[in-house]
Amino acid sequence: GVLSQRPRLGLALGYVARTLVFRNGPGDVERALAYGREAWPLLRRQSRATWLLEVMGIAHARRGAPNVAARLIGHAQAARAQDGEVDVPFRRRMVNVVLEELRVVHEPSQVEGWCAAGAALSDDEAASLAFGSATPIHGRQSHDALPAAQASSTH
């Protein structure tokens, strides 16, 4: 039935969002946030889907929102540890690159503080943080904060 298709649709939308974040072309980050926002409620019914929040953290780093990025990454890492979930190597590498970039621009203690604040968020609070400022899929293009070379260097 239609209801059984909703998680599959959510997963497909989440994978499109992830692909856009990793591709990091003009406008990709804003589109990724919009697809992620559409995917979240569909995925949330089936699983915790913290991988999507972590990918949205990478997107926020690229759009120049370091505090949002670090809080979402911190939330996802804490949730994964709590659930005993295994991290995916390519996503872990990307997250490490993002965190290192943030530590270059901001005091490492500030970045760690943002991550710790994110670890204290509920999933719904983290989702609100992730998707509250996303624009529609056909919305404006953004200037991405991290260069595309950063993304391709982790593959």
108-143 confidence digits (pLDDT tens): 999 999 999 999 999 999 999 999 844 434 333 333
pLDDT of residue 3: 56
pLDDT band at 13 (very low <50, low <70, confident <90, very high): very high
pLDDT (tens digit per residue) in 73-95: 999 999 999 988 888 898 899 99
Per-residue pLDDT for 7 more than 90?
A: no
pTM recorded for the entire structure: 0.81
DSSP letters for 18-77: HHHHHH--TTHHHHHHHHHHHHHHHHHTTS--HHHHHHHHHHHHHTT-HHHHHHHHHHHH
pLDDT of residue 154: 35
Counting residues of the chain whose pLDDT is more than 90, the rounded percentage is 66
Cα–Cα distance, 148 to 144 (Å, whole number)? 8
